[in-house]
Chain A
Amino acid sequence: MLKKFFHQFASPKSYFRIATKIQNPFLLIFVLLYVFALAWGLLFTPEDYVQGNSYRIIFMHVPASFVSQILFLIMAFCSVIFLVWRLKLSIYVAKSIAPIGAAVTFFALFSGSIWGIPTWGTWWQWDARITSTLILLIMYLGLISLHSSFNNYEKADRFFAIIVLAGVINIPIIKKSVDWWSTLHQSASITLTDAPSIDPLMLAPLFLSIFSFFGLIMGIVILSSRYEILLREQSKSWVKSL
């Protein structure tokens, strides 16, 4: 029964129908939640003792950085499913994540640069965290151009999945870079083992902004994956009957 459920959900047609129904309410809920979290963080939290108001970029920069890495992990998960079980839907979703991942990573770097101007006195530094995040952006862009360079979808999908799995090593490097090397970028304020070093008044809107931004981006992934499915399955009768 579980196998039947899995195979039903894993069909592009079923996924498309479910995605179409949930997309708009999903996006609306998380947009409103993120706007609330942002308003909370930008307007109702106290100033930082050292950084003043510029620290408030944290409510955009940290969610973006977190989501940019999570998206690559999701791509890697989908790539494994595709290579092992040959499920078309998994590679459609993986491929649809790439442009969104690139945009979010670019924003993470941009917001970090803007934050760096008042904080570090520079908008760029070749430190481990920033450089490895730049590599992540280059990987996203490289994957997009790799896929579009093939005439054959089968080959494009296979190479895409393999390169994603090769590149996923960058994610733990980004995560641990602030511990392994002496970096300008600060080390983690929130860890699994120690109490957070951020004041609770700032921590609550930060957690909410991370959660709601992730939901918002997943809503955009649903939208993007619907497009990818329509593109790939356009010759099928169920698409023509839409």
Chain B
Amino acid sequence: MGGHGIYVWIVVIVLFTTLLLLILNFALRINRLVKEIKTFSQIKDN
């Protein structure tokens, strides 16, 4: 891809970076929240 192809690849990189960050953000938040809920639940039971 010649000519102005560089602009296209910049947009591709930003797109997939944005999508990856979105997915990681929520996936990690869910993991952390589930751990917190379980830990709090165990403390309460003990």
Q: How many residues of B are counted as interface, with CB atoms below 8 angstroms from the partner's CB atoms?
A: 26
A53 to B11, Cβ gap below 8 A? no
A220 to B23, Cβ gap below 8 A? yes
CA distance A64 to B15 in the complex (A): 10
CA distance A168 to B10 in the complex (A): 31
Give chain B residues whose Cβ lies under 8 Å from the Cβ of A47.
3
B4 to A118, Cβ gap below 8 A? yes
Looking at the complex, which one of B3, B7, B10, B30 makes contact with A227 (CB distance below 8 Å)? Answer: B30
Known contacts A106-B18, A118-B4, A223-B27; 20 additional CB pairs below 8 A are A42-B8, A43-B1, A47-B3, A56-B1, A57-B7, A57-B8, A61-B11, A103-B22, A114-B7, A115-B7, A115-B11, A117-B7, A220-B19, A220-B26, A223-B23, A224-B26, A226-B26, A230-B37, A240-B37, A240-B41
The 5 closest A-B pairs by CB, nearest first: A54-B4, A52-B3, A118-B4, A53-B5, A223-B26
Question: Interface 1/0s, chain A 93-133, versus B by CB < 8 A?
Answer: 00000011001001100110011011000000000000000
Question: Interface 1/0s, chain A 66-110, versus B by CB < 8 A?
Answer: 000000000000000000000000000000000110010011001
Query: What's the minimum C-beta distance from A120 to chain B, rounded to whole angstroms?
Result: 12
- Chain B residue nearest to A112 in the complex (CB): B11
B30 to A100, Cβ gap below 8 A? no
CA distance A161 to B1 in the complex (A): 46
Q: In the complex where A42-B8, A56-B8, A60-B11 touch, is A216 in contact with B34 (Cβ < 8 A)?
A: no
Question: Is A234 in contact with chain B by the CB < 8 A criterion?
Answer: yes
B12 to A42, Cβ gap below 8 A? yes
Query: What's the minimum C-beta distance from B16 to chain A, rounded to whole angstroms?
Result: 9
CA distance A223 to B26 in the complex (A): 7
Chain A residues in contact with chain B, CB under 8 A? 27, 38, 42-43, 47, 51-54, 56-57, 60-61, 64, 99-100, 103, 106-107, 110-111, 114-115, 117-118, 216, 220, 223-224, 226-227, 230-231, 234, 239-240, 242
CA distance A88 to B6 in the complex (A): 46
Give chain A residues whose Cβ lies under 8 Å from the Cβ of B12.
38, 42, 60
Query: What's the minimum C-beta distance from B46 to chain A, rounded to whole angstroms?
Result: 14
Query: What's the minimum C-beta distance from B25 to chain A, rounded to whole angstroms?
Result: 8
Give chain B residues whose Cβ lies under 8 Å from the Cβ of A51.
4
CA distance A216 to B14 in the complex (A): 16
- Chain B residue nearest to A230 in the complex (CB): B33
Interface centre among B2, B8, B19 (most CB of A within 10 A): B8
B5 to A107, Cβ gap below 8 A? no
Interface centre among B1, B3, B15 (most CB of A within 10 A): B15
CA distance A223 to B20 in the complex (A): 13
CA distance A227 to B27 in the complex (A): 8
